[in-house]
Structure 1
């Protein structure tokens, strides 16, 4: 049985690590983890043992593995309910990252994927942490995400084909995604596919302008350089998609 996989890479993560002091790194890593948990919590919160308000992920059916600059959400089965949940989580995570944290590029696929995760500490205080992920879906998602030429998330044809088995594709994806000419680094350089919405359509010029400033800030946050052609291309392609929400 296949599973739905939402695979994300943070853009500029290496420069973020290189250009920030340890205290800042620890603070910002906390922000990244917070946004992962908020996306999984679907607006639910609880008090931590220390009395802090934190995202409540106790009812989430989505698995998540965060390793360095990669975040992977996955479902436990291939039901329509699981698809809706991972689309909701991925959309929230994509939105929060691009506008307010650190830009991501991502892809949602349907394929084989397994995860083994455990951690133990021996009497000497040494930690053995096993986080192994495998399956053809993992390789496919990684390759496709690497080829994207923007900050944004694509819904792969493997998901489209799976939806077609039990319902109308456009009706199922309309709350989460829209057709858009996605920019790639490899041929074909433009592909008409579903992309997760950043906003609802029919936005005002003022709203798009404000959110565009957020995108630019997100690319430069944490002392990340923005004066090279690669970053400018990623930023401009992301802003172009944002403007499509005016329509």
Structure 2
């Protein structure tokens, strides 16, 4: 084989190896999702806290959310839907933009496949089923006040379980925050309203993770 042929074969082998590595490794290994999602985390945290304060205001004024005027309840539902849509679009666009720096042909469909792999689903599905069954059980037993603390604990455990899947070390901070605050609100339930539990667990959790991404970046010298 000529020298030129050997070089061409070597190039082909390198391309083959590169493609094989891509297929067997998650794209999330090659860029920082946590830094890419900083804006999403901050926005999500502020939205959850704002919604919680609004809900707490309605409950304080009308004794319960159900007793609030229908127009205020509809307005609240409308705001929730709009906020969720913005979060989803913001998150997808941010992740696509970051992923395209690594893989230029990445699409929303490909990104979803990268997120919901067999490994991911094997971890997530049991937790999702457990959370759903706990919610149904607590509702049936008229223990609705316990739903948010228990959901926070279970989501925290789920979050810690997917750290190695998504290669986001800051998820440990988020997961631990949800577990700790979930147990705090569970044991001192009478001291918290449902709205404040939501703000304390999930709202502040997003804010804490937002600041954690800056701390990890400074430690890495970025």
Structure-1-length-normalised TM-score: 0.31
> If each structure's helix is expressed as a fraction of its own residues, which one has the higher value?
2
TM-score between the two structures when normalised by the length of structure 2: 0.33
